[in-house]
Chains A and B, each alone.
Chain A
Amino acid sequence: MIDDILNFLDPYWWLIIGVVKAVIIAVGLLSTVPLLVWLERRLMGRFQVRLGPNRVGPLGLGQALADAIKLLFKENIVQSSADKFLFYLAPAVVVFTAIVTFSAIPFGEPFEVGGESIGLWGANLNIGLLFIFAVSSMGIYGIVLAGLSSNNKYSLMGGLRSSAQMISYELTLGLSALCVVLMSGSLNLYDIVKSQSDMPYAIPLFPAFVLFFIAGVAETNRAPFDLPEAEQELVAGFFTEYSGMKFAMFFMGEYINMITMSALITILFLGGWNSYIGFDIPILVFAFKVFLLLCVFIWLRSTFPRIRYDRLMTFGWKILLPTSLVTMLAYSAIKVLVIDA
């Protein structure tokens, strides 16, 4: 009986592994979000010389759970002037694209189970980097649709700002990532990590690293670039009209994007799971680097004031974009004239 089942499943082994991986990635990401919110609130508290949430459970960890339960049970309000279908679609698009983006990120060497090699990634694509940019650019639609369907001027302005910002900073993001592609000669994220076994690209490609990081913060709509939700001018930006779980989904999308961006910076510039000091548990090395970057994201938020909207666009188009173009050209010249020669 069991033999029959095993024989039947044998040709579909890859499909089962894929499903298990997909579930692990989705559940893992979604359950990391409350922890990240807790970490942010605790750290922000310390940065601002106060304690942060510490009453519920040990170290205040219960706060994350309490918040999640509160958001799940809150009343779900849809105002009558909203476009119902798009109003429901928008938060789903945000969370869906955030999770799918993460599926192309590798976080360790493959390991062997029962003669099968299982990679620590959702999918090892030859065009992994392009896939991540493509799917994360789909995430903009969630924000645009939320702004459009709410039928509210604050939402519309928030959606407009957010999409303009993401389009502008995507260029810088892509151009600085191209420097890494130039040096490693591959769009495959696994190969990119492999090519950094001696030295992380953050050292030889330092300008590209800085540009990518700035653009990455802007791309995830985090402070000091969180213009879409500038409270004093726009109430809450594109999710002004959302309540309860749908509001929480926008929140989840933002935090998952933060994790993905940290993982992407780790892979492209910090050498992925290479530890360089002889510490030999790849997945822990990778997690440590991502954790460090997440702390930097939170540090930035509690340090810098929000910049003005026109300054943000000027900065993106007149400073970051030309700088990244020059950087890319300079590295192309170095690659052709020095490294390949």
Chain B
Amino acid sequence: MELLIFYPLALVSVILALFVVFNKSPIGSAVCLIGMMLGLAGVFILLQAHFLAILQIIVYAGAIMVLFMFVIMLLNLKDDDTKWKIRERNIFLSSATGVLIVGILYKIIDVTTDTKFDSPATVPDNFGTVEVVGTALFTDFVLPFEVASILLLAAMVGAVVLAKSKVD
């Protein structure tokens, strides 16, 4: 039953992810990216992580992609600008990245081949609820959480400083 939902979701996500890369116009790429993130949220729901799925939609598909759209709108692209320009590629960097990705994929497949999918892991009833995630965030992971929030604050202040110096 779960596989019946998982495969269409995964297929659509992968296809949309490919379209993000191969689409000719930036707007099309952005729309495909939104679709792919919604697909990922669906996969999170299948993993019983409902809260994470909703956050994925609110933060990534909602907030961040709206900013992307904003930038595309504000750039006021001319007709020939709406097509991606193909630049000279650094062959060494490209191939190094490719090898790294293949390595990571190989490792992931290697790890998961031993897992038995016919007996799904039992998860506790309150797994992935707001309460459990919140408790974990403010007890076990409070240091990374605070560090991340300080990083975000610094980024915000930096953005304000950059915008200000242009206005003055």
Is the pair B72, A163 in contact by a Cβ cutoff of 8 Å?
A: no
B57 contact set on A, CB distance < 8 A: 134-135, 137-138
Query: Please, which residues of chain B bring their CB within 8 A of the CB of A300?
Result: none
Q: Shortest beta-carbon distance, A339 to chain B, in Å?
A: 18
Find chain B residues with CB under 8 A from A138 CB: 57, 61-62
Which residues 55-99 in B have Cβ within 8 Å of A in the complex? 55, 57-58, 61-63, 65-66, 69-70, 72-74
* With known contacts A83-B27, A126-B130, A127-B51, A141–B34 Cβ distance under 8 A: yes
Mask, A71-98, CB within 8 Å of B = 1, is: 0000000000001001001000000000
State the CA gap A137–B55 with chains docked (Å): 12
- Nearest Cβ in chain B — how far from A40, in angstroms? 29
B129 on the interface (CB 8 Å rule)? yes
B9 within 8 A of A: no
Q: How many residues of A contact B (CB 8 A)?
A: 27
How far is it, in angstroms, between the C-alpha of A127 and the C-alpha of B63 when the chains are bound?
A: 19
When distances are taken between beta carbons in the complex, the residues of chain A under 8 Å from B66 are 137, 140-141, 144, 163, 167
Provide the bound-state CA to CA distance between A194 and B69, in Å.
40
- B130, A127: Cβ atoms under 8 Å? yes
Q: Which residue of B lies closest to A185 (CB)?
A: B131
Residue on A with the closest CB to B126?
Answer: A126
A292 interface hit (Cβ, 8 Å): no
Q: Is A268 an interface residue (CB 8 A)?
A: no
- Are A126 and B50 in contact, CB atoms less than 8 angstroms apart? yes
What residues on A are CB-neighbors of B17 within 8 Å? none
- Residue from A131, A159, A160 in contact with B54 in the complex, judged by beta carbons closer than 8 Å: A131
> Considering only CB atoms, which chain B residue lies closest to A174 in the complex?
B58
Chain A 143-164 per-residue mask, 1 if CB under 8 angstroms from chain B, else 0: 0110111000000100110011
Count of residues in B whose CB is under 8 Å from the partner chain = 23
Interface residue A56 (Cβ < 8 Å from any Cβ of B):
no
Asked if B73 and A147 sit within 8 Å, CB to CB, the answer is yes
Q: Which of B27, B58, B65 has the most CB of A within 10 A?
A: B58
The answer to the question of A130 belonging to the interface, with a C-beta cut-off of 8 Å to chain B, is yes
The answer for the CA separation of A138 and B34 in the assembled complex, in Å, is 9
Cα A133 to Cα B66 with chains together (Å): 15
With A137-B58, A137-B62 in contact, is A126–B129 under 8 Å at CB?
yes
> B50–A127 contact, CB under 8 A?
yes
Task: Give Cα A79 to B27, complex, Å.
Answer: 19
In the complex, chain B residues 7-57 whose Cβ is within 8 Å of any chain A Cβ: 25, 27-28, 31, 34, 50-51, 54-55, 57
- Give A2-43 as 1s and 0s: 1 = Cβ < 8 Å from B's Cβ atoms: 000000000000000000000000000000000000000000
In angstroms, Cα B63 to Cα A51, docked, is 44
| A134 lies within 8 A of B69 (CB) | no
Closest beta carbon of chain B to A335's beta carbon, Å: 15
Q: What's the Cα separation between A134 and B57 when bound, in Å?
A: 6
Q: Which of B51, B54, B62, B72 contacts A148 (CB 8 A)?
A: B72
Nearest CB on B from A120, distance (A): 22
Contact A134 B62 (CB under 8 A): yes
A187 at the interface (CB under 8 A from B): yes
Residues of A within 8 A of B55 (CB): 130
Q: Which residues of chain A (101-156) have a CB below 8 Å from chain B?
A: 125-127, 130-131, 133-135, 137-138, 140-141, 144-145, 147-149, 156
CB-CB under 8 A from B72, the residues of chain A are 148
A-B contact pairs, 26 of them (CB 8 A): A83-B25, A86-B31, A89-B31, A125-B50, A126-B129, A127-B130, A130-B55, A131-B54, A133-B58, A134-B54, A134-B58, A137-B58, A141-B34, A141-B65, A141-B69, A144-B66, A145-B27, A145-B31, A147-B73, A148-B69, A148-B72, A159-B73, A160-B70, A160-B74, A163-B69, A163-B70
In the A-B complex, the 6 residue pairs with the closest CB atoms: A137-B62, A134-B57, A130-B54, A134-B58, A144-B69, A134-B54
List A residues at the B interface (Cβ < 8 Å): 83, 86, 89, 125-127, 130-131, 133-135, 137-138, 140-141, 144-145, 147-149, 156, 159-160, 163-164, 167, 187
